[in-house]
Homo-oligomer: A and B are copies of this chain.
């Protein structure tokens, strides 16, 4: 019997410090660990021994050539622990299995059940999480926890989904407690945009470039990274940008907040309504996010195929999104915009060729070198971020209190 992740969950502060350094600096030696952590040689020796026994870190062969006893490189053992990240978009459910090194071992995308009650979604997640662990041959007690990325507004501290406009029937849902009951795993709930920025930041590998992350899915949102920190806002609900006016001449669309707002400019529901008004597509059932998502896929397919009306709709959306990005960049003075989320893959062909120039035209003079790029992580960015937030929770020396279990 090994202590495994249970041991990790109960880790003391010093062990967390050591594991954090090893995780961020693969190949680090005990002497270097001692120097960086300020801990005694004996403490480092004890902790690394315990972490090796628990298969959380491992030694590799030292490089020869140095005088004296060579130092032994340490690195985290990917198989030592895992986390699972789930991203709940109203139309798409994305699940990833991350190992201790942050590598994606498995990923999966499903259609989100258009449930009359959220427990259908909870049950599906619990089933898929169990299946994913089984398929990957991962012991349950090696899984540190389950991270959930969901649309806001959330009460992150209480683990509750408040009343997201994009998830009807999800009012005051105790999602964290429900999923803990359904899976037996510790569960962490965070906002989709925060999770996405976390994964994107990690993927940039300390290039220390501030950026805004624009999330495009069934809804629209943003997050902000400043000096390698993901800002989360005082109530952990950063990034509500749907009401930013991006086209004062836009026609009114019912149900999208302010006329000419960013949500009405780019969420799938608004795009398919615009397409239906032009007769490009039949209007889908607007209570069914799957039908909307399918319609939006068809709209993007039409545009890729050269359909003039579809192309005009998406180009207009790009122009409006550029106005919104201009607001964010002018306000925050960031040199980089990253765009991702479940809708992005379908829009990027139309958006990326025109967006940099459109955004540039919105900026005050000092910032015309802003980079506009698609997510380097990909469509599972928010799910991966949710998994990374779980790893951070256990591996960072300052664990937060956002977890149950």
Chain A 169-192: CB-based contact to B (< 8 A → 1; otherwise 0):
000000000000000000000000
CA distance A328 to B222 in the complex (A): 12
Contact with B along A277-303 (1 / 0, CB 8 A): 000000000000000000000000000
Instruction: Give the distance in Å from the alpha carbon of A330 to the alpha carbon of B260 in the complex.
Output: 17
Do A365 and B335 touch across chains, with their CB atoms under 8 A apart? no
Taking a contact as CB atoms closer than 8 A, the residue among B245, B332, B333 that contacts A248 in the complex is B245
Closest to A323 in B: B245
- A153-B366, A243-B362, A260-B248 are contacts. A332–B162 as well, Cβ < 8 Å? no
Task: Give the chain B neighbours of A326 by CB distance below 8 A.
Answer: 243
The count of identical subunits is 2
Query: Is the beta-carbon distance between A333 and B245 smaller than 8 angstroms?
Result: no
In chain A, positions 349-405 with a C-beta closer than 8 Å to chain B are 362, 364-367
In the complex formed, the residue of B with least CB distance to A212 is: B331
A331 and B153 contacting across the interface, CB-CB below 8 Å? no
Contacts of A244 in B (CB 8 A): 244-245, 327, 331
Whether A233 lies near B153 (C-beta < 8 A) is no
Residue of B nearest to A257 (CB): B364
Closest residue of chain B to A244 (Cβ to Cβ) is: B327
Given A231-B226, A235-B366 in contact, is the A248-B259 Cβ separation under 8 Å?
A: yes
Asked, given contacts A226-B231, A248-B248, A326-B243, whether A366 binds B162 with beta carbons under 8 Å apart, the answer is yes
Q: Would B238 and A333 count as touching, CB distance under 8 A?
A: yes
A259: nearest chain-B partner, CB-CB: B248
- When each residue 238-255 of chain A gets 1 if its CB lies under 8 Å from chain B and 0 otherwise, what string results? 111101111011000000
> Which positions in A face B, CB cutoff 8 Å?
152-153, 155, 162-163, 210, 222, 224, 226, 231-241, 243-246, 248-249, 259-260, 323, 326-328, 330-335, 362, 364-367
Task: Kindly list the 5 A-B residue pairs having the minimum CB-CB distance in the complex, ordered from nearest.
Answer: A233-B333, A248-B248, A245-B245, A240-B330, A153-B366
